[in-house]
Structure formats: C-alpha cells, structure tokens
Structure 1
C-alpha cells in the first residue's frame, strides 16, 4: 500500500528554478529567497527541500544552467559545420534569435550578480574565455590568423555584451535585417546571396 506524504511537493525542481529565474532577472540575486519563492508558487517552504539542500544549492543550479545553456550552446554553434566563414557566423547568430539557445536576460543577470560575487566573477571570466576561444577557432578554421581572429572575436563579444547591457529594444525583424551587415563588419567580407538565403530559410523569414 502506497502512503502519500502530504509534504511532498506537487511542483518539480524545474518549477522552482523557473520561479528563481524570474526573480533573478526581475530583481537580482538578493531577491532570490526561499520563503518569497514558496509564496510566489503557493507552496510550502518544506517542499523546497525535496529538491534543493538550501538556497546556495538553488543558486548553483541556476549558474550551472547558465553555463550549460548560454556558454554551452554558443560554443556548439561556433563548432557547427559550415562551408565558409559566413555560414559559420550565421550559425552563431542563431543564438541571438533563439532564447532557447542563448538567454540574454539571464546573461545580464549573471553579469550583474558577479559584480558582488568574486567566485561567480571567476566563473564568468572562464565562460567569456570559452566563448572567445570558440569564436577565434571559428575564424581560424577559415584562414584568419590568430591575431586577426582574436580581434574579430572580441568585436563580436563586445557587440553582444553591448546589446545585452544596454538592453537594446528592437524587433526580431529589425535585428534579422541587420545581420548580413554585421557579418560583413565582423568578417571584413560581404556574404553571398546564397549564404543569406540559407540563413533566412532556416528561420523561415523574408530576406532583408
């Protein structure tokens, strides 16, 4: 006979993480606390401990999610098959069009959090180094020397961080329309119509 434990939560670990994410991106890490999260979800404080040892464990889970999602997906897109540097850059640009690949709100929240958390700042520096290495490798695969690859990679990184930190507001269509121009700026070469058309077709949008 199965005995139902009334303290067992109906919410999953992902539900707690989503609530913590919402608070983190809205109000910062200081606002991520167990009791307010429980009230937000209509659950008991006790139910939290079915999934996490303590608040630090919840925060660590959010950091790991950021590392796996934002940095992990960015590196994967940089390493994806491409026939030329233009297709390689467009592969990376998938991250800027799909929040499932790269969550800009989470990236901003992590950067703000790291300002007052030396341990997280170290992990952020490591993540940025992984991103830079992946972008440099992408350029070097297509004949750019190391020095030029580094400058072009940094240009892309600083541009994206600028988008994030300035919280630039533009429609998906506006950003999409600028991307061929950004590819030309980042590579120093103009992409062919065929490269643009493949990217457009993948996202099922009209050509800019």
Structure 2
C-alpha cells in the first residue's frame, strides 16, 4: 500500500473558523430606523425587523439601546436637531429685514441642509398616535408660522394680513411635501417670480425677486 501524500493545504479538512460576530454602531441602528420610519411609518420600526435586515441578533440592539422606546427617543432627537433647531435659532433673531427674514425661513426648507421633508412628514404622521408628540409637532408648526408672520409684519402688512399670508405660505409648503409634488426644475424656475409676487404681495419693493418655495 502506498503511503498517502500530504495535503497541499494544511488547513484542508479542518472546520472553518467561525465568522467574527458583527457589531453595529448605535448610529447604524438609528440610520436604519430612520429609513424605516420615513418609508413605512413608526409601526414598522421594530427590533426584530431591523435585526433581520442587518442579519444580527437582538443582542446587538440591546448592546446600544435599553429598549425600543430608547431608539424612538433617538429618532425624535434627530428630528429636533435637523428640522427644529434651525427655526429655534431664527426665533432668537432680534432685528430683522422682512424680506430677508422671509427668504432665510424659506431656504431652511428649500436647501434641505439639514432639513429633511421626509423625516418631517414621518414624525407628523407618528404624532397622530402620540398625544405628547402631537403637542410638540403643533408647537413647532406654531413657531414656523409665527416666524413667517413676523417677516410679513416687518414688510409692513397689518397683523391680520400677516397671519393669513404666513398660514398660506406654510400650508403651501407642507402641502407640497404631503403630496410629494415633483416638478421640472426649469419650469419651477420660471414660476419663482410669480411665487414671490403671490406670496409676498405688492408691498415688496422688488417684486421680481424669486422665491424658491
């Protein structure tokens, strides 16, 4: 009987070492939860579903979070940081130029840096199931409208007309988000001067100024 030739691969026949256990960061869990929230709503933000997506165990989640409520809290902090903080900062502005202040408010939405329309809509929908969150969202709506109202007052409009114009502007913006309105960029640019004329009215010194809203 001929002796067996040694294997060219010393590791041949040995079991493969176990793959290292995957560890996800807290930020990765929050990012995945935010994506689920924006696409399918808060009811779809579940530990098991997120774990299956990452192909990890529930233990990976509990390494970073004490509970699902803890993750929900992080999502709300994300909303406050990118969708509320810019308006809180504007609230502290002491003296304003009416048109300039209006333009600054509008560009928080238009520039989306860091403002996120998808996150704003998702949190608004989430607020339908939470009384405390509903109150917080309503307070943010009131703040945004009051900032717009302040800009119209500074332009010289009466208090009554300022609040109406502020509401029309805000409801217009939220409505665009709600119906996911899309428009050819070139066509939108053509309409911008008209938006300025309609939303700002005849009291604006330069009615040809465009409003990207």
Q: After superposition, where does 1:1-208 map in structure 2 within 5 Å? A: 9=23, 11-76=24-89, 84-189=97-202, 192=206, 195-196=209-210
Q: TM-score, normalised by structure 1?
A: 0.77
1:80 deviation in Å?
6.8
1:139 deviation in Å?
2.3
- 1:19 to 1:152, Cα distance in 2 relative to 1, 3 A: same
Instruction: Name whichever of 82-91 and 126-135 sits farther off.
Output: 82-91
What is the CA RMSD across the aligned residues, in angstroms?
3.0
In terms of fraction of residues, the more helix-rich structure is 1
1:179 deviation in Å?
3.0
User: Aligned residues, how many?
Assistant: 192
Instruction: Name whichever of 83-92 and 144-153 sits farther off.
Output: 83-92
**What's the CA shift string for 1:15-45, capped at 9, x where partnerless?**
1111011111111111100121122223332
Q: Distance in 2 between matches of 1:75 and 1:168?
A: 27
Instruction: Name whichever of 166-175 and 55-64 sits farther off.
Output: 166-175
3-state SS of paired residue (1:115)? helix
- 1:176 to 1:60, Cα distance in 2 relative to 1, 3 A: farther
1:137 deviation in Å?
2.0
Q: Distance in 2 between matches of 1:87 and 1:78?
A: 14
1:105 deviation in Å?
1.0
Unaligned runs of 5+ in 2: 1-19
Q: TM-score, normalised by structure 2?
A: 0.75
Instruction: Name whichever of 178-187 and 80-89 sits farther off.
Output: 80-89
Give the number of the structure whose alpha-carbon radius of gyration is greater: 2
